[in-house]
Structure 1
Amino acid sequence: MSKHITPAQAAALIPDHAVVTVSSSSGLGCPDLMLRAIGEHFEATGHPRNLTTLHPIAAGDMSGIKGIDHIAKKGLLAKIIGGSYPSGPSSAESPLIWQMIGANEIPAYNVPSGILFDMHREAAAKRPGVITKIGLDTFVDPDRQGCAMNEAAQREPVVRKIEFAGEEWLYFPNIIPQVAIIRATTADEHGNLTYEHEGATLGGLDQALAARNNGGIVIAQVKRITKQGSLKPHDVRVPGMLVDYIIVDPEQKQTTQTVYDPAISGEIFRPLESFRVPEFNVQKVIARRVAQELEAGSCVNIGFGISANVPRILMEEGLHGSVTWVIEQGAVGGVPLLDFAFGCASNADAYMPSPYQFTYFQGGGFDASLLSFLEIGRDGSVNVSRLSFRPHVTAGAGGFVDITARAKKIVFSGMFNAGAKLGIEGGRLVIEKEGKLKKLVNETEHVTFSGSRAVAQGQDITYVTERCVMKLTSQGIMLTEIAPGVDLQAHILEQSEFPLIISPELKLMDAALFRDEPLGLTLPEKPQRILQEQIEGGDHG
């Protein structure tokens, strides 16, 4: 019997009250046609009703791929658990899912992406859930928000704190999916799936296993169907034995605003000169200073924001390939892409399944992470996951908590405050008008990264802004460098809600950072690792 059915037929298979897991990362790999079919079926029939949906990474991007917004309907959606959520440019254009969350119409949770993938693996093996230290002393911790995004979620906790083997842990009981909706490029008649046009494989295999092993069904959206036996076994990422139904969308986009780019899927390699180098501005100054924190031969994670430009800085300096970039969607190496294509890479060395990339991150196997901040707290904590006055802009934490929990070195980057009018003249920073919103605050609105836990674990934490560089110490945040042209008292100390420690070795940031010409950057070699360093970790949770 053929597994190929129409989207409407597939939508009719989803029962009321089902738990549905969806594989996607914003526009990347989003099974948008299938989600649209569910929304249309509900409008026509009133079913399926009261679904709980799981999204390890956001489904949809609000830029031509609606994703979760297709099913963000009262009566259809009863609960949502996501690693991240689509974001909108203004309150007037706020995604429907954010409107539901803000109106407290459904319980909504922001569970770290890696933990959500772990929950699928545990559910597939029929183990009781995930026990982890990832998220302690952050918004994930029940002592804070316990992942709850609104009041409705606070009444139905998804995580609790337990003691195990004399230590404190977080416990996430399993949530068993009855339906998995995944996406690939090609299916054969038996349902074997290949991903040759995809920018990542994401977590489709783990999600399919979780549903199938618990008696559920797996629906795969693909671009095309081919004859059984025509796919090479090594190319198959999800075997047909796990796939129940196939729907076809020949128009599915590869990722946000991208119908198809073979460089994103590793089918061709772009010449290096085809990549755009950042224009000279204040943000580039920050990215350059972040680049000075790197070591050649290291594996480095990057996040969205200013730090996403650091690979282009190395390229401009003739240092492409000296660092291996790793991103949560699964790409290893190559050139991580910017803006709407963030989460993809061109010229990648490999594509790891996202759940295993998160295992790498959670265990601290990489060398450094370059991330952004919205707020920095007195204790060094960082908020990237919530601003109450702009909730639709912050799309949740994604893999931020998984990545930072045990990272050896983290470089946070951002503007020192919000709204300042800045310029660069003669190798100096010019602050023409001071910003109105302080970003160094006594207490962050949300704790996405715990400064006190970082100090306890001995993590190396640096904060890079346009006007200074700071380090986290056991005594507090220490100012170590100041930009040429900046007044220490007026432009830094008075613009922080809490006192900064001034290093006795305070120095000027490199003046070359503020000139529109290559730095002549060189990176020190990463020291060789030895076995003894690996077996003295202590914390194995």
Structure 2
Amino acid sequence: MENTFGKICRLEDVLPLFKDNQSILYGGFGGIGTPPGLVNLILESGIKDLTLIGNDTGFPDIGIGKLVTQRRAKKIIVSHIGSNPNAGLLMNNGELEVEFSPQGTLIERIRAGGMGLGGILTDIGIDADIVRDGKQTVSIDKKNYLVEQALTADIAIVYADMADPYGNLIFDKSARNTNPLVATAGQITIVEAMRIVPLGSLDPEDIIVPGVFVDYIIPSKGVDWKWVWEPEIEIK
């Protein structure tokens, strides 16, 4: 596959990047902002034993919840699983390892991973066994903190409203949620975009994620697709 800007491709072009036992960071909150086409691609690929990292497990048939329901994950790192009873059932049956992280802490761990930091210090959960268990603590100015490890992944999947050919991204309202930080923390970042616009179309002041973090851009299958090229760029 060749195209003028290199990053724009189709779903089938990124399929070989997904493999068993990978870690995958995903954007989204309750399924909103989780890339539907990429989730379906992972389902259709048959890959399994994944470590999934994101805010939650969506719903049984919405968002990343589809992968959890189909038992494609061996471990999840999330802030909660309450909206997906299948995740709770698998956890209680010993079929799914769940690492809970307070939501703000989880987001900061992802941010730290994207910025190349080793971790963060926080006192959130220091008195809760479920949060503190097995973690290092440090004392600064007579106050104790947990050392929370930064989070990165083999692949980050992101859902954007608009992308230009360089991968500069804008998000749609609340679908922005965790996507900007997730985009920075993958060894490979794949963006599913509802619209791909020509270079120069995005106001620099509106860009949320700069293209330096983005490796691949695919048009979303979750919406009616319309190319917005002027002139049109052919993908072969």
In structure 2, distance between residues paired with 1:114 and 1:83: 9
In structure 1, distance between residues paired with 2:92 and 2:223: 30
Q: How far did residue 22 of structure 1 move?
A: 0.6
1:6 aligns with 2:6: no
Q: Structure 1 residues 98 and 141, CA, compared in 2 at 3 Å: closer, same or farther? A: closer
Give the structure, 1 or 2, with the largest relative contact order (CA under 8 Å, sep 6 or more): 2
In structure 2, distance between residues paired with 1:231 and 1:207: 21
Q: Structure 1 residues 115 and 226, CA, compared in 2 at 3 Å: closer, same or farther? A: same
In structure 2, distance between residues paired with 1:79 and 1:87: 17
In structure 1, distance between residues paired with 2:75 and 2:64: 12
Amino acid at match of 1:236: I
Q: How far did residue 86 of structure 1 move?
A: 5.3
Q: How far did residue 139 of structure 1 move?
A: 5.1
Is the 2:29–2:178 Cα contact (8 Å) retained in structure 1? no
Is the 1:191–1:239 Cα contact (8 Å) retained in structure 2? yes
State the secondary structure of the residue aligned to 2:53: strand
Query: What pairs with 1:299-318 in structure 2 (closer than 5 Å)?
Result: none
In structure 1, distance between residues paired with 2:34 and 2:82: 12
> Residue 30 of structure 1 corresponds to which residue in structure 2?
34
Is the 1:12–1:41 Cα contact (8 Å) retained in structure 2? no
Q: How far did residue 140 of structure 1 move?
A: 4.1
Q: How far did residue 252 of structure 1 move?
A: 4.8
Query: What pairs with 1:76-225 in structure 2 (closer than 5 Å)?
Result: 76-85=72-81, 87=83, 94-95=85-86, 97-138=87-128, 140-142=130-132, 146=133, 160-165=135-140, 166-195=142-171, 197-211=172-186, 216-225=187-196
Q: Report the TM-score when normalising by structure 1.
A: 0.38
State the secondary structure of the residue aligned to 1:37: helix
Is the 2:32–2:63 Cα contact (8 Å) retained in structure 1? no
State the secondary structure of the residue aligned to 2:113: helix
Q: How far did residue 108 of structure 1 move?
A: 0.6
> Residue 241 of structure 1 corresponds to which residue in structure 2?
212
Unaligned residue ranges in structure 1 (runs of 5+)? 89-93, 147-156, 254-541
Q: How far did residue 246 of structure 1 move?
A: 1.5
Query: What pairs with 1:47-446 in structure 2 (closer than 5 Å)?
Result: 47=47, 49-55=48-54, 57-62=55-60, 66-72=62-68, 73-74=70-71, 76-85=72-81, 87=83, 94-95=85-86, 97-138=87-128, 140-142=130-132, 146=133, 160-165=135-140, 166-195=142-171, 197-211=172-186, 216-249=187-220, 251-252=222-223
In structure 2, distance between residues paired with 1:217 and 1:169: 32
Q: Structure 1 residues 112 and 181, CA, compared in 2 at 3 Å: closer, same or farther? A: same
State the secondary structure of the residue aligned to 2:64: helix
In structure 1, distance between residues paired with 2:175 and 2:195: 18
Is the 1:8–1:41 Cα contact (8 Å) retained in structure 2? no
Question: Size of the alignment, in residue pairs?
Answer: 218
Is the 1:8–1:38 Cα contact (8 Å) retained in structure 2? no
Amino acid at match of 1:228: L
In structure 2, distance between residues paired with 1:250 and 1:235: 25
Is the 2:35–2:159 Cα contact (8 Å) retained in structure 1? yes
Q: Work out which of the two has the higher radius of gyration on C-alpha atoms and give 1 or 2.
A: 1
